[in-house]
Amino acid sequence: MKKTIKKPIVTFIPFTRPTIDEATIRAVADVLRSGWITTGPNVKALEKSLSEYVGGREVRTFTSATGALEVALQVCNIGPGDEVLVPAMTFAATANVVLRVGAKPVFVDVELATRNFDIAKAESAITKRTKAIMPVHFAGLPVNMDALYKLAKRKNLRVIEDAAHAIGSAWKGKRIGSFGDLVCFSFHPNKNITTIEGGAIALANADEARRVDVLRFHGQQRDAAGNIDYVEAGGKYNLTDVAACVGVGQLRQLEKFNSRRRTLAMRYFEKLHTTPAMLLPVHGDAGHSWHMFAPLLPLDKINITRDEFIRAMAARGIGVGLHYPALHLFTLYRRMGNKRGDFPHAEQIGDSTVTLPLFPAMRMSDVDRVCRACAEILAAARKR
């Protein structure tokens, strides 16, 4: 009889995966049994905990960071005829919300090393129509906050921080969201904590927080007796108690999650050595929350495309993401006159970036496996 040789089972490593503990799962079941599953006590509890986390500032939750960003623009009274500076390297939502309020997103190139807003280039893009700057703390690495807010103060501009990647990040020991103007977080499943889908705004101004309450729920106001009036054409972005219950459990573990992410990122720096070399992200300090680990492929030195690299990694049981294509080159923004060559750093990043697995449940051996796979694929594809 011919002997069958069993191949070892290779566990697939996704590029990200949320970590939800059993206590949170049980708490969600309790919410579902309670009969109160939409906005209620768990939303209040999450907003209170988030406020405490960012030093007591006003915090309001949303069904998404996208909704939070759009309402932040409305709170700043930004609309038709206005311009908002947006990095050319970010997720589409950052610019889309500017269009949705009737304003114009004006793209600014990013620094190649940090992937963050180039403050010097931002200043040169300011016109008399510019009303706000919307920086992104890319992959959890904070923008130079001193330079950002110095520029905003000098030019009398609002700042709406897209901190979708940056819950738990810090600038000079101060948590992102604990200072500054309006700061918007994401709790999507691939972020450092999740509410399944969701987001939040941290605000410095109590009056603006009250306006957020109106804008995120139909433009509705209630008086002390509970009588309803509608004062603005608001949207509907209120978080459910089920989602908030997940968030409460997640927030308790955020520091542990981020500590693990930093440890895994340091392992990448230690082990990810390829020939030809990938361009690694900036190392950062303890204030980097490491939402992602996204090196750049040396495409000019290998004879495979990025798509082929991603397929080769998948064949080895490793998921790779792509964060992000250059924003100004999407059809929507080409229609506005943007073209290749306008923002070289964003284009280089967009053409060659790959997002390697990074999430708290990863083992060191998983990182080592990813690093070995990268090294093997790039060595085999090296141009001779």
131 is catalytic: no
Q: Write the pLDDT tens digit of every residue in 251-289.
A: 999 999 999 999 999 999 999 999 999 999 999 889 999
Same domain membership, residue 223 and residue 292: no
Cβ partners under 8 Å of residue 64, min gap 6:
186, 188, 197, 198, 199, 237
pLDDT value at position 83? 98
How far is the C-alpha of 158 from the C-alpha of 224, rounded, in Å?
32
Cβ partners under 8 Å of residue 254, min gap 6:
53, 167, 168, 192, 193
Tokens of 139: 């992959």
pLDDT value at position 8? 56
Same domain membership, residue 198 and residue 282: no
| Segments in the chain below pLDDT 70 | 1-10
From the candidates 7, 172, 191, 256, which is the catalytic residue?
Answer: 191
Same domain membership, residue 175 and residue 283: no
pLDDT value at position 270? 98
Same domain membership, residue 374 and residue 306: yes
- In a domain, residue 13? The reply is no
- Helix pair angle (22-34, 241-251), 10° resolution: 160
Q: Write the pLDDT tens digit of every residue in 207-228.
A: 999 999 999 999 999 999 999 9
- Enclosing domain of residue 267: 254-381
Same domain membership, residue 360 and residue 232: no
Report helix, strand or coil for 126: coil
Residue 296 has phi, psi (to 5 degrees) of -105, 135
Same domain membership, residue 113 and residue 231: yes
- In a domain, residue 5? The reply is no
Same domain membership, residue 329 and residue 347: yes
Of 217, 251, 285, the domain-final residue: 251
Of 226, 251, 276, the domain-final residue: 251
Same domain membership, residue 101 and residue 185: yes
pLDDT value at position 284? 84
Same domain membership, residue 259 and residue 134: no
**How far lies 195's CA from each of 24, 154, 239, 257, in Å?**
11, 37, 9, 15
Unique residue bearing structure tokens 């969201």: 177
Same domain membership, residue 192 and residue 104: yes
Say what the pTM is: 0.96
Same domain membership, residue 346 and residue 245: no
How far is the C-alpha of 163 from the C-alpha of 186, rounded, in Å?
7
* Count of structural domains within the chain: 2
pLDDT value at position 2? 56
**How far lies 382's CA from each of 64, 209, 322, in Å?**
42, 55, 22
- In a domain, residue 85? The reply is yes
- In a domain, residue 205? The reply is yes
Same domain membership, residue 265 and residue 246: no
**How far lies 141's CA from each of 127, 128, 287, 289, in Å?**
28, 30, 7, 7
pLDDT value at position 3? 57
Residue 314, domain CATH: 3.90.1150.10
